[in-house]
Amino acid sequence: MPEQIQTFLREHPVGLLFLVIGLGYLLGRIRIRSFDLGSVTGVLFIGLVFGHFGYEMSPTVQTLGFVCFIFSVGVQAGPRFFSVLKTDGLRYMTLAIVVGGSGFVLALTLSKLLDLDHGASAGILAGGLTTTPTLAAAQEAVLSGQVPVPEGVSPEQVVTNITTSYAITYIFGLIGLILIIRLLPKVLGLDLKAEAAEIAREQSGGLDDATRELPDIVSRAVRITSPEVTGVPIAELYDRYPGLGSVVRLRRQGEELEVEPDVELELDDELVVVGQLDHVISISGFWQELSDRTLTAGAIESARIIVLRSRIKHTMLSPRGIVDRYGCFIAQVHRLGVSLAPEEIGTLESGDVVHVTGPDAAIDRLGADLGHIERSVDETDLVTFGLGIAVGTLIGGLSVTVGGISIGLGSAGGLLAAGLTIGFLRAIRPTFGRVPGAARWVFMELGLLMFMAGVGLRAGSGVVETVTSAGPSLFLAGALITVVPVFIGFAFGRVVLGMKPVLLLGGITGSMTSGAALGIINREADSSVPSLGYTGAYAFANILLTIAGSLILLF
């Protein structure tokens, strides 16, 4: 590298930071067949290279990235974390404990048997289970002084041990998990596509969709001409003709009436109906279509509706039911940041974000029944975001002394707790603590990459020595930590929890927080049904494995 560039990077740490992030992101996106390193590992490797040649970054920047990442993880999981406890949460929480717990015990045992350096246990746990929150929590616990380091060993050396162990074990962790997820169903003779289709049919009321795309949504102005539908309340009309969708306007003898469920239709009533094109056409014999633009005038818009805990108990709508009853087209449903196919979800759950398109009046009515409508989602509530991080940091700094040992949540635990609380409260009162999905993604992704860049630069000076002295042992340990928890989790899920394989495999990938492996199982099942298992376990795994990152360093 030319001397002028070297001097520039040493004098301008901001330029160095974003050079590492940019090159690392580029490296992570290089795909060989179906495999890529991913942005996190790419940035870590580039950081290790620059760190090896003596480049440094301010620890404050690293800490800032860690804070944004961990807090945003809590905010994302909050709406679903507490509600899942009350539904099917016990099974997924147990699965996450079994998978993560077996990895924890293995990492601790192998680090003792192989006489690995202090801190390597946290690194092989994070790498073997492919979970970055574990790595982040372990690094921060050492740097903040939350966990003591042995005499004669510097915190920087422990950080290097953690980072190098993670870097060596992560590659097999990622590739190995993908291979297991891909081969296990074939070895056991499982038909994941059939299972996913069956679950989708059960959750959509037994309807077998010929296509995954919902039919076209149309708006029609009509005049009632058939006695067959006169005297029929609008609510009963929906029940008789579920594909009709929604009556969004009603005009009788020139007078505009409120569209209420108990209003009975009369001859010559003029309506605007919104619904699926094929269903609207199939019952068109009951009316005469009009060309009155004053009736059909009205905005068609898109909005996000956040499902609220206070409404979901009474509504329990399915995505298909929303189309039938309200005439709103559902583009997608997000649960814990994972996009789910609408027809493969049973009923909506608290914290779900439903993206809908339809007449503004229909969206208003749906929003009133289901939750909170967000039409403008560009602005982040930075007051809540800033104060939440401050409170989380304060909580993390609190500790009690038991038997001479200081016990506390630590930075990671405190920030997670604050984020979970804010995310949960937002599901109850969505005008509070708004962090749009795009903003949350930037906080999480950029925060994590800033942290990983700092980790790599800080650990790079000792990476060669660690690899040459303990590389094979670390690789072996990481491979066992990847493979064994998967088989333990699968056997436990089938025998004890009685879970269907397609959901169980999704739950295992969620327990290991591996989005890449989830993508593989979704493709194998030709469905997003495994994502339901992933989100159930992911809500708990993120928290459990974050705590495990600092806890394992105490042994």
Is position 55 within any domain?
no
The CB density around residue 290, as the number of other CB atoms within 10 Å, is 16
Residue 250 lies in a domain: yes
Q: Is residue 245 part of a domain?
A: yes
End-to-end Cα spacing for the chain: 43
Neighbours of 17 (CB within 10 A): 22
CB neighbours of 507 closer than 8 A, spacing ≥ 6?
Answer: 92, 95, 96, 489, 493, 499, 533, 534, 536, 537
In a domain, 268, yes or no: yes
Written as one letter, the residue type at 485 is P
Cβ atoms of residues 517 and 485 within 8 Å: no
For the entire predicted model, the pTM comes to 0.62
Domain limits at 227? 217-296
Contacts of 509 (CB under 8 A, 6+ apart): 177, 181, 515, 517, 518, 521, 530, 533, 534
- Tally of domains within the chain: 1
Beta strands in 258-352 (DSSP E): 270-276, 287-289, 300-307, 329-335, 338-340
414 Cβ contact list (under 8 Å, min separation 6)? 392, 393, 394, 395, 396, 397, 398
Q: What is the CATH number of the domain that holds 229?
A: 3.30.70.1450
∠ CA 243-249-252, rounded to 5°: 115
Residue 125 covered by a domain:
no
For residue 302 the two structure tokens come to 């898109």
For residue 400, being part of any structural domain is answered with no
Task: Give a yes or no: residue 233 inside a domain.
Answer: yes
- Residue-by-residue pLDDT tens, the chain, 555 positions: 677 787 888 888 888 889 999 998 898 888 876 667 778 778 878 888 888 888 888 878 888 888 888 788 778 777 666 665 566 678 888 999 999 999 999 999 999 998 888 888 999 999 899 887 888 888 888 887 778 888 888 888 888 888 888 878 877 787 788 788 888 888 888 888 888 777 766 654 433 333 334 445 567 788 888 888 888 888 787 777 765 667 777 889 888 888 777 888 889 888 877 666 666 666 667 788 887 666 665 556 778 887 876 665 544 566 656 765 676 767 678 776 667 766 666 677 777 788 887 777 778 888 888 777 876 556 788 888 899 999 988 887 776 665 554 555 667 778 878 888 888 787 666 667 777 777 888 888 888 888 878 877 876 766 666 666 667 888 888 899 999 999 999 999 999 999 889 889 988 988 988 766 777 787 788 776 787 777 778 778 878 888 888 889 888
